[in-house]
Amino acid sequence: MKKLGVKERVIEAASRLFYFNGYNQTGINQIIEEAGVAKASMYQHFRSKEDIAVAYLKGRHIMWMGKLNDCVDKTNHKEGKVVGCFDYLTEWLTEVNFRGCGWQNIITDLPNDHTKIMDQAVLHKNEFRNWIHNLLKEENKYTVKQAENLGDEVLILIEGAIILSQIQKNEWPIKTAKRACVSLLT
């Protein structure tokens, strides 16, 4: 197996630290130590902790959306594939002990001047929103406007289920949101 380069090791270490410890609670020296790289080497790839966080969020987006797509593709709910989102939430959030959404977590922990990170969070949430809209449009059961309105309602259910399951350390909010989603779609 090929050894990861400096950039990849920094992103991997920072991803773990940002997700499980928090952005403000993670320092550059901690990232450097966890990654096993020299400070000068790290700064050849990243100018700041904010730039590392942007790389983390971009990678997380690709990973998260890929796993979501895989889970939804296996879904066979009579109400539609979008219901499979809740199956993915249960799988993912129980796996990480209900740590929650990396984008929700980093935004709540973010200084106001970190616009690059904020932009990544908005980009992810907007792309996820559009993904839900498109999933509903593909079912040909709804007009474009209906699919978008229902999609926004489903998105709110998903986001609320994520944060409440993090607070409760339990999957009941996901199960409840899934039932609400099924009611919306029937």
Tell me the domains of the chain and their CATH numbers. 1-46 (1.10.10.60), 50-185 (1.10.357.10)
The whole-number mean pLDDT for each consecutive block of 10 residues of the chain, a chain of 186 residues, reads 84 96 95 95 95 96 95 85 94 95 90 91 97 94 95 98 97 98 94
Question: What are 6-22's pLDDT values in tens digits?
Answer: 999 999 999 999 999 99
DSSP-assigned states of every residue in 11-31: HHHHHHHHHHH-STT--HHHH
What SS3 state is found at 114?
A: coil
CA distance 88 to 90: 5
Which of these, 174, 49, 63, 185, lies nearest to 124 by C-alpha position?
63
Per-residue model confidence (pLDDT) at position 1: 56
In degrees and rounded to multiples of 5, residue 113 shows phi and psi of -85, 5
Give, in order, the Cα–Cα distances in Å from 94 to each of 100, 142, 172.
Answer: 10, 33, 11
